[in-house]
Amino acid sequence: MRFLFLSICFLLAIGCSDASNQPRNSAAASASVNPKPAAQRLPIYGYEVVKEYPHDPKAFTQGLIFHNGFLYESTGQEGRSSIRKVEIESGKILQRFDLPKKDFGEGVTLLGDKLYMLTWRGGIGYVVNVDTLAVEREFNYLGEGWGITNDGTNLFITQGAHVLKVIDPKTFNTVKTLPVMREDGRPLMQLNELEFVKGEIWANIWHSEDPTVLGKPNYIARINPTDGKLVGWIDLGGLSPEDTGRGSENTLNGIAYDPATDRIFVTGKYWRKLFEIKIKPQAGA
């Protein structure tokens, strides 16, 4: 009788063990059949320097535009913020509008014959006539102002985070917002100066060399303006070695595109040079 009782207990124990293990075995089998998808790998582009031009080393560059053969550059810092019309070959300032001393100038873009310039923490922007550099209108926005560009219809602005705001240039109301995410799903923070290039938005990333931001120096993000998705990177590391070690704020910041000749110009805050570059695939990519 005792033998029969022990046999029954043994059989029940085996049955319970099989039942308790069954869900775990099924989950493991399912995980092996449907593994978690790997992060998307985006193309990385390098560069070739076509030509170097002089650049004002006292210019805290915040925005850069090519228009009718000249560069229009916005600069920052309280008491030193401006919009300048600059001769490319010489770096000479031909025309200049100085912002009120209280303003810290940020990005600038050209839409029609109007320049739209942001300020950092003042919550105020300026609409400036591109020919006279006279202020025609002021506008307000919530939050900080960083970078700005346009697609010929709407303005796109950055405010220090990972979001592009699409703004109506007449009402200055937000049309929509576009979050920009990295390949690993994390937000791409500190989007800064912007430029529209061949249907894409190219974005400088403030202190992209910081491991908490991106960990890659002088990287530019290429973004789809329709949905905010990343489509690639441009690695401009080592572009201006003479500007390393000149302070924490001499970072790459300034992209200008000339669609008529397909030329790209870049510079940085306090950089001594402006570079005309050609984008090319990285070796081995």
The full 3-state SS of 54-65, as one line of letters, equals ECCCCCCEEEEE
What pLDDT shows up at residue 211? 87
Q: Alpha helices of 34-139 — where are they, by DSSP H?
A: none
Averaged confidence pLDDT in the chain: 85
In this predicted model, which residue has the larger pLDDT, 133 or 247? Answer: 133
Domains of the chain: 44-281 (2.130.10.10)
User: What H or E segment, with its residue span, contains residue 5?
Assistant: helix 2-33
pTM score of the predicted model: 0.82
Q: Is 114 exposed, middle or buried (0-12, 13-18, 19+ CB in 10 A)?
A: middle
Cβ atoms of 202 and 264 within 8 Å: the answer is: no
The answer, yes or no, to whether residue 23 has pLDDT greater than 70, is no
- Under the banding of pLDDT at 50, 70 and 90, the label for residue 230 is very high
Task: Find all residues with CB under 8 Å of 247, minimum gap 6, and list them.
Answer: 270
The answer, yes or no, to whether residue 163 has pLDDT greater than 70, is yes
Mean pLDDT, rounded, for 113-136: 95
Buried (b) or exposed (e) across 136-164, using 16+ Cβ within 10 A?
eeebebeebbbbbbbeeebbbbbbbbbbb
What pLDDT shows up at residue 33? 52
- Under the banding of pLDDT at 50, 70 and 90, the label for residue 16 is very low
What pLDDT shows up at residue 238? 82
